[in-house]
Every structure is written in C-alpha cells, then in structure tokens.
Amino acid sequence: MTTEMQPLLRVRELRTWFHTFSGIVKAVNGVSFDLAAGEVMGLVGESGGGKSVVGYSLLGLIDPPGKIESGSILFDGEELANAPERRLREIRGREIAMIFQDPMTSLNPVHTVGRQMDEMLRLHTELDKKARRQRCVEMLESVGIARAEERLESYPHQFSGGMRQRVVIAIALLAKPRLIIADEPTTALDVTIQAQILRLMRREIRQQGASLILVTHDLAVVAEMVDKITVLYCGRVVETGPVRQVLEAPAHPYTRGLIDSIPDPAHRLPRLRQIPGTVPDIRALPKGCAFRARCSGAAAICSEVEPSLVARAEGQSAACHFPLVSGETA
Amino acid sequence: MMTRILATQIAFNWRRNLSAISGTVILLACLFMVAVGPSLVAQNPYDVMQLNLLDSYLPPVWLEGGNPNYLLGTDGQGRDVLAAVIYGTRISALIGLSATLLSCVIGTFLGLMAGYFGGWIDALIMRVADIQLSFPSMLIALFLMSAFGTGIDKILISLTAVGWVVYARTVRGSTLGERQREYVQAARVAGLRDAAIIWRHILPNVMTPLIVVATVQVGTFILIEASLSFLGVGVPVTQPSLGLLIKNGFDVLFSGLWWTSLFPGLMIMAMVFGINLLGDFLRDELNPRLK
C-alpha cells in the first residue's frame, strides 16, 4: 500500500486514560499510526496492552472513568477525538463499524437476525423497507449464508458460532463503512473455521474498498491477513511496519518474543518458548522502557530514558535503544 | 418461532403440574365471576335504592330464616352478600391489576434509567428505593391514604408508591448485567441513541423476571387493599371492596352474624391462592437460573 496518499485515518499521540481509585490506568499512552484507504492493519499485543481501547477510542465509546486525555484522531480529515456525541453517532456504523469478539453475545438474543440487520440500514440509509430487505438478503448471501431470505426470520440461537460471526460481519458491512475495526474476531470460534471466517472478512472488506484494523494477539492471523502491523506494549507503540518486514526482521525485542512464542511444528521444542516475566502494572509504570524488566538486552539507559519510535528501514520503526539487527534473537 | 417453542414447552409443563392447573382454574373462575357475575345477581349492591333495610342480616339460604333471594344472606343494609362479593371482587381485582401495571411501568422505567446510566441517577433512584424499603409497605400505604383520603384513584397512587421498588430493583439488576453484554456495545457501535438501545435492546431482555414479580404482586396488592379498606382508609363505603365488606361484617361477627365477613374473606383467599399457585409455576418456568 502506498503511503503517499492522504491517509484515511491519522492517529497522533492518542492518550486514553482511566481514572480509577487505585490510580490512573494509562491504557493508551501516546499511540500514533496512519491507515490508508483500503489498507489492512494488525494491532497486536498481549492482553491488557490497550488494543481494544484504541478501537473504542476511535469510535468515541470510552465510558467514565475512562477519557481521551489528548491526541488527535483524524478520520478523512475530520477530528474525532472529543467530537460531539451527535456527530459520533452518525459516524458509528455508517463510516466506522466494529466486529466483536464473541458472536454468541454480540447479537441480541430476542430479535431476529433480519430485524437487527434492518436496524442498521434504517439508521444509516434512506432505503425503503423493500430495498433494505433486498440489501440484507444480498449481504447475507455474500457472507455465505444459504437460504438468506428465510434466515432473516431466524433468531441468533438458531445459528452456529461461525454462522453468527458471518452475520455479525454482514451487519458491520451493511452501511458500507469506510473503516472496520475487528476486535479479536475469531478468538471465540472453533480453530477449524477461524481461517475461513478471516478470509471471508478480508474478501468482503476488500470488495467494498474499506480499511480494516484487526485487533489480535495472534500473530499467525496477522501474517496472513494484514498489510501492516503495529505492536502495542503497555499502551505504547513499540514497533510498526509492513507485515513481512516486521515478521522477518523484528527490531524490537518484544516483537521478537511474540514471534518466537508461536509454536513451530517443524522444530519441536521440549517447552514452548515464552517471554519471561509478566506485563508490569500499568498504573505504575517504571521510568524508562516499560519492557526492560523482561528484556535480555536491557542496559543502564533503558531504566532512565524511555525510547521513542525511530525509523529503521522501509517504513519500519521501533521504540528501542538497542534495536535488533536482522536475524538476531532477543 | 422461538415464542412458539417457548409456548409449547410451558404448555407441556403446565399440563403436568397440578398446582398450576388448579391456580389457573381458580383464576378463570374468578375472572368468570367478575365478568359475568353482575348479570347473574338481581341486586346491584352499590345502588342504595335497591337495598331493603327490612332484609338486613338475613342468614344464608340453608339456615333457618334464610331467603332464597339472598343465597349467602345479607348484611346490615340489606345488601345481598353474594352480589356484594361479586362486585367487591371486581373492585379488588381492578385495583390489584391496575396498581400492579402502574408500579410495573414506573418501576421498570426507573430501574432501566438507574441501571443504564448509573452515576447520580442510579444513586438517587436507589437511595429512594432503599428508604422506602426500610418502612413496612403497609405503613407507607396507610400513611399516604390517611393524607389523601379514600378513593380508588388514591389507593392506586398509594399502592404504586409502595410497589414500584421491586420492579426498579429487579430491572436495575438485570440492566446492569445486560449492559455489559456485547450486543449493547454493538448497538452503540451501530450509532443507536441511548433511548433506542434501552427500549429496543435492553427492555426485551429484562422483562421475563418481571412477569413473575407482577403475578405475585397482584395478590399482594389485593391483600394490602383489603387491609387498608378494613382499616377504613381504602375504598369509599359506597363502593365496598372485599376488604371493606369484611370490615362491615367484623363489627357484628361476635353477634353470630358470621356470613357477612366469611364469604368476602373466602373470596380473597381463593383469589390470592390461585394467583400464588400460578405465580410459583411461572417462577419455575421463567427463571433461567432454575433451568
């Protein structure tokens, strides 16, 4: 994907903090990235790394005690950070849609699938009843649901998990949004159908020319799906770049660690490799680099100065004082 | 489709549950009495012109001195006890049902607000509810009635003031739970406004436990109304409900004129018994935790 184009989404120094009794949780603490129209970006990191909060921040759906403290979210040139709720409601669903993790709970059990689809179209389009129904049928067919016309009258519990996620994807795409945020869209599904759903999602999103932010902790998913990858650690971007570049030659030891934790059936190890230690308490991050306690290459400067994101090669940047060179292990 | 499955499942269990069947039969009998009863009795007990004071305190027809015109005897004003019970049941049932409906609507609304928005709205509504719960409901109703004076509209207000709390607390609890579900997030992400999310997505999901609460409350309200009327602060004397009929008879109970109190009492008992039997069945059927 080209970077010369004006990006569809430009996030700069986004800070979303939660003011809790036990301290300020800096879930997102200075995140920046660009996303071009039609581009697919993977947002990767461990649990609690602030991935989902980025997604919710883009939609203005941060509930108290959380708050977007500072930063800018430019969507097609329009500032969304702290935009009025009325404007945000128009954007949600129509411009930016979201696909959730668990299709078992992201559909309302008491309404038919058809009604839930219709709701989205009624809200965001001027189509009449017949045209809306027509669009729903087409959409269901395109996500691979047979007898779509009939299935509109079904309730969510009459679908299997994979089928439900197809419905969720169909609903997200209904109003032809330009950006889709998928928050771990296959985590709750059977392994056997994960790839199937991912490919379907990618194909449909491509077809509409929309951009996608894929929030995941699964690097295997990322490798297949995305153009570009952004790795978060403790609310900050530690590495970003074209997916091939980052996966083949990670510059940040954390990225390296994530890649090494993927089991490789060709080289069976007595134990799975892991990153030592745990994510530090995000309410009281130590001075310097947040990753240093788990990093084998940490030096004195790492506990003094927080490294900033520095360009390495061909659109790849990393926030590390001692970036790895190609092939090196952490 | 789902409702059809649900309906047949409940119907299936209903046929195998003796107390549910008895409850239904009792309630249908009451309903029949309320609907058709007035045209079956000759006298309108509310029309003073039809009362004959010479016929006062006649015993039921099977006792010596009974008059076949008055199957269950008469009271002090010559009112046919059977007619009075039928009309009184109408008043009692009407009050029980409408007060339940009113409490349910108001309580549900407040519960939804408290559960969905949280914060000071929640704090305000729930503290009022807590204060209310720290008084016996009878005491509050009694107090309100003595302040307002008698009348069916006033008794409705009093019962609603007492009854909304149960719904508010039940609904608030379920709303807090539903709010966390992803489909509510999905609705927000779709750009729905809060009112639409509450009305179309949360309300249908929190209604099931309300059916149970409401069923039992009809019975409770009939009892409270009867107690209030018995204490003389309920319905006006010209439109006696069952409670007021008992009170009227109570004054002469120890003179051996038992029938004026007993029959209205039995009627209340039958009605509340039927409601509770059905309520128990519904609770077992509709409570997802017991499945």
DSSP annotation of A323 reads P
| One-letter identity of residue A196 | Q
Give B171's pLDDT tier (boundaries 50, 70, 90). very high
Higher local confidence (pLDDT), B51 or B168: B168
In 3D space, the residue among B115, B107, B104, B106 whose CA is nearest the CA of residue B194 turns out to be: B115
- Chain A residues within 8 Å of chain B (Cβ atoms): 59, 61, 64, 89-94, 97-98, 100-102, 105-111, 119-120, 123-124, 153-155, 157-158, 168, 171
pLDDT tops 90 at residue A301: no
Q: Report the pLDDT averaged over residues B251-260.
A: 81
Q: How confident is the model at residue A329 (pLDDT cuts 50, 70, 90)?
A: low
Q: What pLDDT, on a 0 to 100 scale, did the predictor assign at position B7? A: 65
Nearest CA in chain B to A111: B201
Q: Predicted confidence band at B198 (pLDDT cuts at 50, 70, 90)?
A: very high
pLDDT band at A298 (very low <50, low <70, confident <90, very high): confident
**Whole-angstrom Cα distance, residue B119 to residue B116?**
9
Bigger pLDDT: B251 or A2?
Answer: B251
Tell me if B1 and A110 make a contact (CB, 8 A cut-off): no
Q: Which residue has the higher pLDDT, B128 or A234?
A: B128
Mean pLDDT of B62-77: 79
Asked if residues B153 and B91 have their Cβ atoms less than 8 Å apart, the reply is: no
Calculate mean pLDDT across residues B74-80: 80
- Let me know if residue A130 belongs to a domain: yes
CATH number at residue A171: 3.40.50.300
Residue A140's nearest CA partner among A103, A167, A172 is A167
Say if residue B217's pLDDT is above 60: yes
**What is the per-residue pLDDT for B291?**
44
> pLDDT tier at A1 (50, 70, 90 boundaries)?
very low
Do the Cβ atoms of A120 and B2 come within 8 Å? no
For residues B184-193, give the mean pLDDT.
88
Q: Please report whether residue A79 resides in a domain.
A: yes
- Tell me, yes or no, if B5 comes closer than 8 A to chain A by beta carbon: no
Which pLDDT belongs to residue A2? 45
Any bridge partners for residue A211, and if so which? Answer: A179
**Average pLDDT estimate for B86-98:** 89
Q: What pLDDT was estimated at residue B2?
A: 56
Report the candidate in B224, B206, B230, B216 with the shortest Cα–Cα distance to residue B278.
B216
pLDDT (0 to 100) of residue B103: 94
Ordered alpha helix ranges (H), A97-228:
113-124, 129-142, 148-151, 161-174, 191-208, 219-225
> For residues B235 and B246, what is the distance between their CA atoms, to the nearest angstrom?
13
**Can you point out the beta strands (E) in chain B?**
none
Q: Sign of the C-alpha dihedral, residues A273, A276, A282, A287? A: negative
Interface test with B, best of A63, A86, A96, A106 (most B CBs within 10 A): A106
Q: Average pLDDT of A64-75? A: 86
How far is residue B224 from each of residues A126, B228, B235, measured CA to CA in Å? 53, 6, 12
Give the closest residue to B156 by CA, choosing from B114, B104, B207, B113: B104
Q: Is residue A39 part of a domain?
A: yes
Q: For residue A252, is it within any domain?
A: no
pLDDT at residue number A328: 55
The distance of A87 to chain B (nearest Cα, Å) reads: 10
Sheet holding A96-99, edge to edge: A96-99, A179-183, A211-216, A40-44, A228-233, A236-242, A316-318, A310-313
Q: Token pair of A298, please?
A: 């940490």
Of A58-72, A139-153, B36-50, B103-117, the least confident: B36-50
pLDDT at B102: 95
CA distances (Å), origin A308, targets A54, A288, B197: 19, 10, 42
The predicted complex's ipTM stands at: 0.77
Give one DSSP letter per residue of A278-322, joined into a string.
----TTSPPSS-TTGGG-TT--GGGGTSPPPPEEEETTEEE--SS
CA distances B140 to A223, B161, B163, B240, Å, are 67, 8, 11, 22
Contact A138, A146 (CB under 8 A): no
pLDDT of residue B287: 63
What range defines the domain where residue A142 resides?
9-233
Residue A170 has pLDDT above 70, yes or no: yes
Is A258's pLDDT higher than 60? yes
The shortest C-alpha distance from B12 to chain A (Å) reads 22
Q: How far apart are CA A58 and CA A72, in angstroms?
A: 10
Residue B43 predicted with pLDDT over 80: no
Q: Where are the alpha helices (DSSP H) in B190-258?
A: 194-196, 203-206, 208-230, 242-250
Q: Report pLDDT digits (tens) over B241-253.
A: 888 888 888 878 8
Say which range, A38-52, A200-214, B176-190, has the weakest mean pLDDT.
A38-52
Closest chain B residue by Cα to residue A56: B189
Nearest to A155 among B1, B181, B201 (CB): B1
Vertex B116, ends B114 and B121: CA angle to 5°? 35
Q: How many CB atoms lie within 10 A of CB B251?
A: 12
3-state helix vs strand vs coil in chain A, percent to 5: 35, 25, 45
Phi-psi region of B117 (alpha: psi -120 to 50; beta: other; left: phi over 0): alpha
CA distance B191 to chain A (A): 4
- CA separation for the pair A275, A8 (Å, rounded): 35
State pLDDT tens for residues B12-21. 888 888 888 8
The model's pLDDT over B109-145, given as tens digits with 9 standing for 90+, comes to 999 999 999 889 999 999 999 998 888 888 888 888 8
Count of structural domains, chain A: 1
Query: Is residue A143 a part of any domain in this protein?
Result: yes
In a domain, A313, yes or no: no
Q: Is the pLDDT of residue B151 over 70?
A: yes
**pTM of the predicted structure, to 2 decimals:** 0.77
Provide the pLDDT for residue A193.
Answer: 80
DSSP state of A74: E
Which of 1.10.3720.10, 3.50.50.60, 3.30.420.40, 3.30.70.141 would CATH assign to domain B2-290?
1.10.3720.10
**Percent over 70 (pLDDT), chain B:** 96
* A272 inside domain: no
A66 in a domain, yes or no? yes
Write out chain B residues lying below 8 Å of A111, CB-based: 200-201, 204
pLDDT for A50 equals: 78
Contacts of B136 (CB under 8 A, 6+ apart): none
